Amino acid sequence: MGKIKLKDIDTRAPKDWDKQDTKDKLVDILAELDELQNLLFAESKHSLLVIVQGMDASGKDGAVRNVFGKLNPQGVLVKSFKAPTAEELSHDFLWRIHTHAPAKGYIQIFNRSQYEDILITRVHKWIDDDTAQARIKAINRFENLLEQHNSTHILKFYLHISPDEQKKRLEERIHNPAKMWKYNEDDFKEAKLWDDYMKMYEDCFENCNDVPWTIVPSDQNWYKEYIIAKAVRDTLKDLKMQYPGLKKK
């Protein structure tokens, strides 16, 4: 992946995409995913790590719920990474991440991830450039370790929304009773740092790309969910998995 400029990438679906047709396709993909997840769990030769990053209100929770919500919960795990605890801060920054790496047979979803440690930390200047560069190298080695030594397949999604759409969604949390529980006044403060976050994300895409990123236009949830579900479906199909036969004594 070459140098990415997020401002040059549309946050909406292509104009010729039909909403209802795409939603119908998504229903079919989710049905395929159900069978593929069952295969993944039964065969237990591979695992899948899905990393979902994005600005506040980019739709991370909704993507996880609507793409993976109907799969067998026995084989799908979700970890949302918040601010590190005192115990987590007493270890290296990947300690809390590695403990949630997926075992063979499982889909593990990271709602935010190790990338927070080179994003928000740099925007707020909590770490210096040398520390950031060291962490970038560590993240690349960590992902390579999972891929090469545990048959873990990694998908990384950045949910790309516009500042206007983010503002609309954050304000909705003030007025919509069903979304008030998500309200955090700090989200509005972080939104003012938009340009700084875009710069750090672009640097992340350029330097943490051994496992490539998918930039997902996310102003429209139906398109976002289709893109993520299709990528997951295609990755699992490419594994050519088979159900194991009868176990021999």
Give the CA angle between residues 192, 52, 198 to the nearest 5°: 30
The reply to whether 249 falls in a domain is: no
pLDDT-above-70 percentage for the chain: 99
Phi/psi of residue 44, nearest 5 degrees: 55, 40
Burial letters for 93-118: b for 16+ Cβ neighbours within 10 Å, e otherwise?
bbebbeeebbeebbbbbbbbbbbbbb
Is residue 139's pLDDT more than 60?
yes
pLDDT-above-90 percentage for the chain: 89
Report the pLDDT value the prediction gives residue 3, as an integer from 0 to 100.
Answer: 85
For range 130-158, the mean pLDDT: 97
Please give the Cα distance from 5 to 165 (Å, whole number): 19
What is the value of pTM for the model shown?
0.95
The reply to whether 10 falls in a domain is: no
Count of beta carbons in the 10 Å neighbourhood of residue 91: 12
One-letter identity of residue 43:
E
The reply to whether 206 falls in a domain is: yes
The reply to whether 200 falls in a domain is: yes
Domain extent, residue 122, equals 19-237
The reply to whether 6 falls in a domain is: no
Report the pLDDT value the prediction gives residue 74, as an integer from 0 to 100.
Answer: 92
The reply to whether 72 falls in a domain is: yes
For range 142-167, the mean pLDDT: 97
Is residue 81's pLDDT more than 70?
yes
Q: Report the domain count for the chain.
A: 1
For range 92-110, the mean pLDDT: 97
- What CATH number is attached to the domain comprising 48? 3.40.50.300
The reply to whether 80 falls in a domain is: yes
The reply to whether 190 falls in a domain is: yes
